């Protein structure tokens, strides 16, 4: 009797569109805005037939029993409402499903990525926002975002570094796209100072840099920085953290050569006379290719630093002559 009443009620609705033509839908429940009966009437008006292809809103016992059966695709009610509101048949996407059969899963795997983004369909702003909320952030990404948010709250006091574009040696690899920021770096506090005094800080090496800042206690990436500078014929200064505090103390940009990382690195790269003599003896008694290679590399690094110092002195001399 109930089915007869439902059939009679459905005949009262007249089709005014054909977006659901040839499609059969079963609506298990409605929501606070659209009742089950109202939605069934809308389906008929849009050319569809109300039968047993579950479309669900709330997770009722009836919906859950259909889901457990795993024999049909169960759609969220929001999909049907969007079709009604736009007067168009919207193709199913992974986010529209409460239950997906094996056949539909294979379809989604061919046409969507793991986050539900279509390989072929264009994306609008709302869909993109929904997709981004499903992409998990790693803890390091969250920490970086928190750091940036904190730094943005620091007031700009003075403009000492206003014309400086600075890269800080805060990353474990200069070239790799998978590089990570070094946790608890000794340069963290200098980053805050530079922001406070209006420096433009960037996280990649470019030829627009004016300064690269390394910490005097960690010169392990100095060789790579010098090599990059040489390869790209860049003109930035490589200084230690003491340059930052000196500039702030003097309230102006001070001579970078006083804080050159190459000066700090001489003890790191150079070989003492005693060590050189010992290595020379070893070379006479027992040729050691690996020792010779290391020695050559150390001399090469020292030469790079001296070349940097020579270029800086030439630039300073030229600047003085220009002023005079």
pTM: 0.41
| SS3 state at 192 | helix
State the CB neighbour count (10 A cutoff) for residue 48. Answer: 24
| Residue 60 pLDDT grade (very low, low, confident, very high; cuts 50, 70, 90) | low
Residue 16: CB atoms within 10 A of its CB come to: 11
Instruction: Please name the residue ranges forming H helices in the chain.
Output: 2-11, 36-45, 61-69, 77-86, 102-111, 125-134, 139-151, 188-196, 222-231, 242-250, 261-269, 273-285, 289-323
Q: Per CATH, the architecture of 2-105 is what?
A: 3-Layer(aba) Sandwich (3.40)
**Structure confidence by residue, pLDDT tens digits, 176-232:** 777 899 999 999 999 999 988 889 999 999 989 999 999 999 999 999 999 999 999
Q: How confident is the model at residue 116 (pLDDT cuts 50, 70, 90)?
A: confident
CA pair distance 27, 80, nearest whole angstrom: 9
SS3 content of the chain, % helix, strand, coil (to 5): 50, 10, 35
Q: Of the CATH numbers 3.40.50.300, 3.40.50.10860, 3.40.50.10190, 3.30.1490.20, which one belongs to the domain with range 140-323?
A: 3.40.50.10190
* Interatomic CA distance for residues 161 and 190, integer angstroms: 12
pLDDT of 296 over the 90 cut: no
Q: CATH 3.40.50.10190 in the chain, residues?
A: 2-105, 140-323
pLDDT at 298: 45
Q: Which two tokens stand for residue 23?
A: 């499609």
Mean pLDDT of 239-268: 85
- Could you give the CA distance from residue 48 to residue 24 in angstroms, rounded to a whole number? 6
Q: Torsion-angle region of residue 22: left (phi > 0), alpha (psi -120 to 50) or beta? A: left
């Amino acid at each position: 009797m109930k089915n007869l009443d439902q059939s009679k009620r459905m005949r009262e609705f007249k089709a005014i569109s054909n977006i659901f033509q040839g499609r059969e839908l079963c609506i298990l429940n409605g929501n606070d805005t659209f009742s089950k009966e109202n939605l069934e009437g809308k389906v008929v008006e849009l050319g569809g037939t109300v039968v047993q292809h579950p479309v669900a809103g709330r997770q009722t016992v009836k919906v859950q029993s259909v889901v457990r059966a795993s024999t049909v695709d169960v759609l969220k009610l929001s999909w049907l409402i969007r079709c009604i509101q736009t007067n168009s048949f919207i193709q199913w996407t992974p986010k529209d499903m409460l239950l997906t059969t094996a056949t539909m899963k294979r379809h989604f795997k061919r046409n969507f990525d793991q986050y539900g983004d279509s390989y072929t369909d264009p994306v609008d702003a709302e869909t993109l926002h929904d997709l981004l909320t499903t992409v998990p952030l790693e803890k390091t990404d969250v920490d970086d975002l928190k750091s940036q948010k904190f730094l943005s709250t620091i007031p700009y006091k003075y403009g000492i570094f206003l014309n400086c574009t600075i890269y800080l040696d805060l990353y474990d690899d200069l070239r790799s796209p998978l590089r990570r920021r070094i946790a608890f770096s000794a340069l963290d506090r200098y980053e805050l100072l530079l922001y406070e005094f209006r420096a433009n800080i960037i996280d990649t090496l470019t030829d627009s840099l004016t300064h690269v800042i390394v910490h005097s206690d960690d010169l392990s990436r100095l060789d790579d920085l010098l090599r990059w500078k040489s390869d790209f014929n860049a003109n930035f200064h490589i200084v230690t953290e003491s340059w930052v505090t000196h500039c702030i103390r003097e309230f102006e940009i001070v001579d970078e050569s006083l804080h050159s990382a190459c000066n700090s690195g001489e003890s790191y790269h150079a070989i003492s006379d005693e060590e050189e003599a010992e290595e020379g003896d070893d070379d006479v008694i027992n040729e050691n290719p690996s020792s010779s290679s290391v020695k050559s590399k150390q001399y090469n690094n020292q030469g790079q630093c001296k070349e940097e110092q020579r270029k800086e002195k030439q630039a300073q001399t030229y600047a003085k002559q220009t002023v005079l």
